[in-house]
Amino acid sequence: MSRPAVFLDRDGTLMEEVHYCADPALVRIFPGAAEAMLKLKACGFLLVIVTNQSGIGRGLLTKAQYLAVQAELMRQLDETAKCRSLISAAYFCPDAPPPVSSRRKPEPGMVLEAVRDLDIDLSRSWFVGDRSVDIECGQRAGTRTILVQTGYGTGETASLTAPNPDFVVKDVVVAAEIILELVK
């Protein structure tokens, strides 16, 4: 039976934005993010990270560096939430534009891979991110969307190129509260 998911951007949404983060020592999850994710998971949502990592394609970091940063993020989330495997899956696109890639947000390729891999019901799913490409990706995939005003989110509200998100909120904690309130 298909389950709903919350698709999450990584940098600027779950953890502090660090321009092309290549060092696990720089990973800082946002306060309350892990606990908010735990509440979503307890309510039956799969949690899926979907992240553009063009720094790999640009030669600014290696895949190994990306994986080390990702492992540290997962460690911090699990440790803080006191939960093993809080995140169901993570997808990343190393492509640098141009050309346009079907996997690079705003294209929904990574979301559709997750749907195939995890049997996700997009009609009951959400996409949470700090950039207009996150919102557009979620909308192209058929999810509801929330723009968080962390990371690049503060400046994104005025420059959204896609239709407006369903909600614009302070951070991922408030995003989770809204999602949980609407599924009651």
Render pLDDT for 109-148 as a digit per residue (tens, 0 to 9). Answer: 999 999 999 999 999 999 999 999 999 999 999 999 999 9
Cross-strand partners of 182: none
pLDDT (tens digit, 9 = 90+) per residue, 16-30? Answer: 999 899 999 999 999
pLDDT (tens digit, 9 = 90+) per residue, 49-77? Answer: 999 999 999 999 999 999 999 999 999 99
Torsion of CA 17, 40, 165, 151, to 10 degrees: -10
Cross-strand partners of 89: 48
- Look-up: residue for tokens 């940063």? 69
Q: What is the CATH number of the domain that holds 37?
A: 3.40.50.1000
Contact predicate 109/7, CB 8 Å: no
What confidence tier does 153 reach under pLDDT thresholds 50, 70, 90? confident
How confident is the model over 81-107, as a mean pLDDT?
93
- pLDDT at residue number 154: 73
Interhelix angle 172-182/33-42, nearest 10 degrees:
20
The Cα–Cα gap between 165 and 134 comes to: 10
The Cα–Cα gap between 156 and 158 comes to: 6
Quote the pTM value.
0.95
Total domains in the fold of the chain: 1
48 or 100, which is more confident: 48
Contact predicate 36/176, CB 8 Å: yes
Going through 43-178 in order, the beta strands assigned E by DSSP cover: 46-52, 89-93, 126-129, 144-148, 167-169
How confident is the model over 41-46, as a mean pLDDT?
97
- By annotation, the residues acting in catalysis are 9, 11
Domain that residue 23 falls in: 5-182
